[in-house]
A and B are shown apart, each in its own frame.
Chain A
Amino acid sequence: DIQMTQSPSSLSASVGDRITITCRASQSISNLLAWYQHKPGKAPKLLIYKASTLESGVPSRFSGSGSGTEFTLTISSLQPDDFATYYCQQFNTYSKTFGQGTKVEIK
């Protein structure tokens, strides 16, 4: 199975900050990577798919990049609603493995 490794596991930031989260795949997955936002008690929300395509309705402050085994999620100016846990997920295979998550907290 493909393993996904996210870093950092958590970060503290302030409103307005630019943050970047990294995700590494154990083997090449081309651009078949998604990013989700997850808040307690809520369903995960798809933000970005195919590494860099913004899902409809998602604010443009979210962006993704990468291919092969290295990927990043960037939030250009953190907003109060963005404090949540973020997960990457590979969908290169039927086993749609997730990274371990990055919790974004208020500094």
Chain B
Amino acid sequence: QLIESDGGLVEPGGSLRLSCAASGFTFDTYAMIWVRQAPGKGLEWVSTISGTGVSTYYADSVQGRFISGRDNSKNTLYLQMNSLRDDDTAVYYCAKIREVGTVTTAPCDYWGQGTLVIVSS
């Protein structure tokens, strides 16, 4: 099970941290990803983080502004979002990679329900 923290309303240029609490699997053996869906748009990959947290990857649209992290002792994934822009408004999902120990070669088999982030003044 994956449960995202509440999102919220934030002004342009502001920051917000999302969290995703995991249960029911050995958290530190699976890579995780963040995906978002802007209003009326499709799914957009945001970030991938390895099981150890050592390796992180970002979409060009968030590179340098967003930081993925994880606390494996707390079975929790994080997305620190800085310098937020209007076009970051979206529902954000965390998802688990299906296979142990890989950041590629496997899709996502479990997803959170999503949390809405609105960037607006």
Q: Could you list which residues of chain A lie within 8 angstroms of chain B, going by C-beta atoms? A: 1, 32, 34, 36, 38, 42-46, 49, 55, 85, 87, 89, 91-101
Give residues in B with beta carbon < 8 Å to A.
33, 35, 42-45, 48, 55, 57, 59-60, 93, 95, 98, 103-109, 111-114
Q: List 5 A-B contacts (CB under 8 A).
A: A1-B60, A34-B108, A36-B43, A43-B114, A44-B43
* A38-B43, A43-B93, A43-B114 known; A95 vs B107 contact (CB < 8 Å): no
Contact B43 A91 (CB under 8 A): no
- Could you say which residues of chain B place their CB within 8 Å of the CB of A85? 42
Q: Contact check, A49 vs B107: say whether CB atoms are below 8 A apart.
A: yes
- A46 with B113: CB separation less than 8 A: no
Contacts of A97 in B (CB 8 A): 45
Q: From the candidates A46, A95, A99, A101, name the one contacting B108 in the complex (CB within 8 A).
A: A46
Question: Does B104 contact A91, Cβ atoms closer than 8 Å?
Answer: yes
Measured in the bound complex, the distance between the Cα atoms of B109 and A83 in whole Å is 20
- Give chain B residues whose Cβ lies under 8 Å from the Cβ of A34: 107-108
Contact A44 B93 (CB under 8 A): yes
Alpha-carbon distance A55/B78, docked complex (angstroms): 27
Given contacts A1-B60, A95-B59, A96-B33, contact A46 B107 (CB under 8 A): yes
Give me the 6 closest cross-chain CB pairs, A-B, nearest first. A34-B107, A43-B111, A101-B42, A94-B57, A98-B43, A49-B107
Give CA–CA (A55, B109) in the complex, Å.
9
Q: Is the CB of B48 within 8 A of A96?
A: yes
- Could you tell me the distance between the alpha carbons of A42 and B48 in the complex, rounded to whole angstroms? 21
How far does the alpha carbon of A96 sit from the alpha carbon of B31 in the complex, in Å?
12
Across the interface, A91 reaches (CB within 8 A) one of B55, B59, B106, B111, namely: B106
Roughly how many angstroms separate A101 CA and B37 CA in the complex, as a whole number? 11
* Residues A94 and B104 in contact in the complex (CB < 8 Å), given A99-B42, A101-B42: yes
